């Protein structure tokens, strides 16, 4: 229900990537990370230098467990705009998980998800 308005906006937005980014964020909040990734990637095809799109892509990849891909997505966003907070924060969390052993990653991912 929460993502429906973004879908309608994305359908008529043309080159405006904001509705895709908003829907990607809404889908991620619902835990629908595969769909969130698809929207972020669609937006990046329209506008490759969209830093927030790289952040949205990185977030989805992170939650899908594709940590190396997430790291690269966050770095790509920072190359576009060094001030992109979503990329900075996401990169720090991703690198923190990558530094852990495999057994600790799942526990840490759960902590990041709950925000504790």
Domain boundary assignment for the chain: 4-114
Question: What predicted TM-score, i.e. pTM, was given to this entire model?
Answer: 0.80
How many whole angstroms separate alpha carbon 95 and alpha carbon 105?
11
The topology (CATH level 3) of 4-114 is 1.25.40
The pLDDT value given to residue 80: 97
Give the pLDDT of the chain (116 residues) as one tens digit per residue: 655 554 544 554 567 899 999 999 999 999 999 999 999 999 999 999 999 999 999 999 999 989 999 999 999 999 999 999 999 999 999 998 888 876 666 666 666 665 54
The pLDDT value given to residue 9: 44
Query: H/E element holding 67?
Result: helix 67-80
């Amino acid at each position: 229900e929460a993502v429906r308005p973004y879908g309608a906006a994305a359908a008529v937005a043309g080159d405006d990537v904001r509705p895709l980014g908003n829907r990607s964020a809404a889908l991620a909040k619902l835990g629908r990370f595969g769909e969130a990734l698809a929207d972020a990637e669609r937006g990046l095809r329209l506008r490759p230098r969209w830093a927030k799109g790289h952040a949205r892509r990185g977030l989805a990849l992170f939650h899908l467990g594709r940590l190396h891909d997430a790291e690269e997505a966050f770095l790509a966003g920072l190359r576009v705009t060094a001030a992109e907070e979503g990329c900075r924060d996401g990169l720090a969390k991703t690198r923190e998980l990558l530094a852990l052993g495999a057994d600790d990653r799942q526990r840490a991912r759960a902590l990041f998800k709950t925000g504790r």
